[in-house]
């Protein structure tokens, strides 16, 4: 289980909730780059990604998760989420622990079931990535 959440208290709370549910948690990571580095080591079964990370958006991480077939949920708060992620579970900043645990459990049961990223072969592995490199469909 990967957690990308830039705020310390919400990140620790989420880590505790998921650990109590039996998940082995990596993170919380504060940036997309930090979280993305761990994807090549041992890919997580599921990820929870805040779309408002330090030093930029969580969407580059979400795209990397899609390319690797790793299911994930987004914590969006009031931010606009591109249509390309309309099939991904989304949480407001205030959510119940059991709702997140249910989403994680369901997502782990169907690992690899997320829609594929349209850019799998358009970038060399490990190359820097920014949301403006996504196809229009991912940004709209």
What value does the CA radius of gyration of the chain take, rounded to a whole number of Å? 14
- CATH class, domain 2-112, is alpha beta
Q: What is the pLDDT of residue 109?
A: 55
pLDDT digits (tens, 9 = 90+) for 82-94: 877 888 888 877 6
Q: Which pLDDT score, from 0 to 100, does residue 72 have? A: 92
Residue 7's SS3 state is coil
Q: With 60 as the cut, is the pLDDT of residue 137 above it?
A: no
Mean pLDDT of the 18-38 span: 87
Phi/psi region, residue 95 (left: phi>0; alpha: psi -120 to 50; beta: rest), is beta
List the domain boundaries for the chain. Answer: 2-112
52 bridge partner residues? 57
Q: Which pLDDT score is estimated for 136?
A: 46
The percent of residues above 70 in pLDDT, for the chain, comes to 69
Identify the residue with better confidence: 95 or 129: 95
What pLDDT does 131 receive?
47
């Amino acid at each position: 289980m990967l957690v990308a959440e830039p705020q310390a208290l919400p990140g620790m709370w989420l880590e505790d909730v998921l650990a109590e549910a039996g998940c082995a948690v990596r993170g919380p990571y504060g940036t997309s780059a930090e979280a993305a580095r761990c994807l090549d080591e041992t890919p997580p079964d599921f990820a929870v990604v805040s779309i408002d990370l330090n030093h930029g958006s969580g969407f580059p991480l979400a795209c990397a998760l899609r390319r690797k077939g790793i299911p994930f949920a987004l914590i969006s708060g009031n931010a606009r989420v591109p249509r390309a992620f309309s099939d991904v579970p989304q949480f407001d900043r205030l959510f119940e622990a059991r709702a997140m645990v249910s989403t994680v459990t369901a997502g782990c049961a169907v690992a690899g079931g997320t829609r594929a990223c349209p850019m799998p072969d358009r970038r060399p592995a490990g190359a820097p990535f920014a949301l403006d490199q996504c196809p229009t469909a991912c940004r709209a």
